[in-house]
A and B are shown apart, each in its own frame.
Chain A
Amino acid sequence: MNAPQPPVSYPFSPSHAMKFGTPVPDMGSGPIPAESVTSAAYFEREREQIFKQAWLQVGRVEEIPNAGDYFTRELHVFKSNIVVVRGKDGAVRAFHNMCTHRGMALATEACGNTRGFTCEFHGWGFGLDGSLQAVPAIESFPGIDRSRLGLKALACDTWNGFIFVHWNPQPAQSLADFMGPLARDMDGFPFDQCQHIAHYTARVKANWKLSIDAFQEAYHATYLHRHAIPGAGDLELALPSSVRFYGPHRSVSCWLKTDIQPTPAEAIAYKHGSFGFVKADEGDTRGLNPSGDESWWFDINVFFPNFFCDLGRGWYFTYNFWPVSENDTIWNMNIYQVQAATAGDRLAQEFTRVVLRDTVFEDMSTMEFSQKAFDSGVITEQTIGDTEIAVRHQYWVADEWVNGRRP
């Protein structure tokens, strides 16, 4: 790590400068080669060196409140389907959803409740803890060691209700150590008081890192979001108010002009309800705005490699970016808001849902074109500006991990 850099000032922003809340790593400068978003060989190295070496967020505890509740997830990057289940002891565990006999899937529904997993193929039975408990006609398997044939586990742990798994059942680094100070900065946020208000997915023909890029810089907001967020068409907004780096993770705070005007309909809703998306100038600030920025709007928190947990006052949303191949990604978004007390609150929140969804439609309109440009070989590198420093950080960290280093 280098020493903290002095704040950068930009000619188009006389009143605001981009601050760094942490030391800025030496990430190099210059264009970023496009190979890491187009190469199948590079993606195979990412599969082994990044995704099988990092904690990955796969769900929330509210999805499986009771013993025996489970959900399954298709993890193409592992070439596996996993099942996450709450045991009789209350612990959440994760297993590869594969019978250890001949590989049949055990849970064939997206979610459910069960006393155990029985394979539909030959009837092998497994407990919620993964132990092999029943083998029909076990005498036909002379010398079988049931203790070696339990379900193949992944490491599983939680942070503020978010469930994470790790390919290695006994990873060298705990989830808490992996998430580090960024997670601790966010710990005060009232995650447990929030309600799930929206869930979106899309399969995007673009590299997972390229897809992430569209959501971790504000430079695009001034132009791309000039319709969805009236008032965003101001170049000063291109500047993050502050940026922080935490090992492989990063956090970018965005600011909002205080004189932004709600639309006529929003103005009525906001008279009666709080926690709107672009107007929430009072309320609980725990876990938010770690650099104490003025005119602060929200924090983009990116846990390497593929999980976002963006926090605002009274709301948060998450993204997961699940690679299928070097140019195929499943994008997943969930929006949560503090439980509404009145219909007025709920209608103010509805603007969050609709405005945010429309904004994401705009974000996602660009990435497949970029992927095609890089796949064509015509555009061979990405030119990155200083306000897009999170983009540079992502490619630098990914390349370090691919090469066996762990910043």
Chain B
Amino acid sequence: MTNQLPAAFADLEPFCAKWLRPTESQRNQVRISSDMAELRVFYDAVLPRFDAVIRHLNQFPLGDLPPAEQNLLNLSFAFVEATAPVERFNSPIVTKTFPPERFLIHEDLGRSGGW
């Protein structure tokens, strides 16, 4: 299988199959359908690498990332999603929550604002 991330971050490749998702709603879905053990493994792997990830990505223009760097950014968005269960809730979903299936995360950014 070809690598999806920049070579310097090959250690994070094993997480791509589950966590590399292009949209907010998909990343949230992976988060809330994971258990805490899975979330902690991902969090523990990325946290010590997060500083290096940002330093690496900052070398490229944000609007024109090469494919591997774009994947690394999307994986980082998934990491931010995963920090909430580990750092805040000790639960994949918000502890006292509105039903997630009735909360719609739209991907029509820039063109919508409708309901």
Contact = CB atoms under 8 A, between A and B. Distances in A.
Nearest to B93: A361
Contacts of B106: 199-201
A202 interface: yes
Contacts of A273: 54
Given A263-B83, A265-B87, A365-B96, A347 B102 contact: no
Chain A residues touching B, range:
35 or more
Interface stretch (B1-9, B11-19, B56-64): B56-64
B55 A272 contact: yes
Contacts of A340: 62
B95 interface: yes
Interface residues of B, number: 44
A345 B47 CA distance: 17
A199 B114 CA distance: 9
B47 A344 contact: no
A65 B98 CA distance: 35
Given A227-B88, A228-B94, A271-B51, A347 B80 contact: yes
A358 B88 contact: yes
Contacts of B54: 268-269, 271-273, 343-344, 347
Given A202-B103, A343-B62, A365 B113 contact: no
B115 to A, nearest CB: 4
A51 B53 CA distance: 50
Interface in A192-217: 195-204
A263 B87 contact: yes
Interface stretch (A297-305, A348-356, A379-387): A348-356
Top 4 A-B residue pairs of the complex, sorted by shortest distance between their CB atoms = A343-B57, A364-B98, A361-B94, A332-B115
20 contacts: A59-B114, A199-B108, A200-B103, A201-B115, A227-B88, A228-B94, A265-B43, A265-B79, A265-B87, A268-B51, A271-B54, A272-B58, A347-B76, A350-B77, A354-B83, A357-B28, A357-B105, A358-B89, A361-B103, A365-B94
